[in-house]
Amino acid sequence: MRSKVNITEEKLSELKAAMEIHKKEPGPLMPTLHAAQKIFGCIPLPIQKIISNELDVSIARINGVVTFYGHFSVEPKGKNIVSVCLGTACYVKGSQGILDAFSHDLNVKVGDTTDDGMFTLEATRCIGACGLAPIFTVNEEVFANGSVQLVKKVVQKLKS
């Protein structure tokens, strides 16, 4: 089962406060969406509706913008987010193999979340740490000089 988005009053008022600030600036939609993504972890339809009302922008346009950018998501992500860098420097040093290993070991397709909502596997764009290639991150932690062996170790640790 996917974990559901938790829309609490507290989080809603946080979003409203952010919108109050951004409304006064030119081009308020992007900063507002960044805030929403940060507060809720994703921007599902109910949130888009709220933003639409508040900023007076059609929901179709908001949906278009949300789905255009890779940074925004409509569905909640897993509890643990595994991102494998597929920048060129990492790729030529074998990061595709690392991504495949995660996909196999976590039993999840790239870009998807496991059924139990525990893991999201992402292929990420270059994060600019090319000197440590190939690299991947689990939540905030960075693993440098990655290898299939390291993947096995990390997965084991995450699952336990």
Partner 1 sequence: MLDRMHILICGGTECKETNSLKIRDKFNTELERLNLGKDIKTILTGCFGLCALGPHVVIYPGETLYSGVKLEDVTEIVEQHIANGKPVERLLYKGDFNRKKFRNRSELTFFARQKRIALRNCGVINPLEITEYIARQGYEALGTVLKTMTPLQVIEEVKKSGLRGRGGGGFPTGVKWEFANRQISDQKYVICNADEGDPGAFMDRAVLEGDPHSVLEAMAICGYAIGANTGYIYIRAEYPVAVERLQLAIGHAEALGLLGDNIFDSGFNFKIELRLGAGAFVCGEETALIASIEGERGMPRNKPPFPAVKGLFGKPTNVNNVETFANVPVIFLKGADWFKSIGTEKSSGTKVFALGGKIANTGLLEIPMGTTLREVIYEIGGGIPNKREFKAVQTGGPSGGCITAASLDTPIDFDNLIALGSMMGSGGMIIMDEDNCMVDVARFYLEFTVDESCGKCTPCREGTKRMLDILNRICDGQGTMEDLDVLERLGNMIKDSSLCGLGQTAPNPVLSTLKHFRKEYEAHVIDKVCPAGVCKNLTTYVVTDECIGCTKCAKNCPVGAIEGTVKGKHYIHPEQCIKCGACKTACPVNAISTKPENWEGV
> What single letter denotes the amino acid at residue 104?
H
Q: Pick from 133, 138, 151, 155: which binds partner 1 (CB under 8 A)?
A: 133
CA 149 – CA 101 distance, rounded (Å): 9
Among 12, 50, 57, 118, binds partner 1 (CB under 8 A): 57
One of 91, 110, 112, 114 touching partner 1 (CB under 8 A): 91
**Selected binder of partner 1 within 4, 131, 157, 160 (CB under 8 A):** 131
Q: Is 26 in the site for partner 1 (CB under 8 A)?
A: yes
**Under a CB-based contact definition with an 8 Å cutoff, are residues 2 and 119 in contact?**
no
CA separation, residue 63 to residues 87, 98, 113 (Å): 28, 33, 21
Nearer Cβ to partner 1 (113/124): 124
| By CB under 8 A, residue 110 contacts partner 1 | no
**Listed residue (32, 6, 37) closest to 17, CA to CA:** 32
Q: Which C-beta is closer to partner 1: that of 13 or that of 88?
A: 88
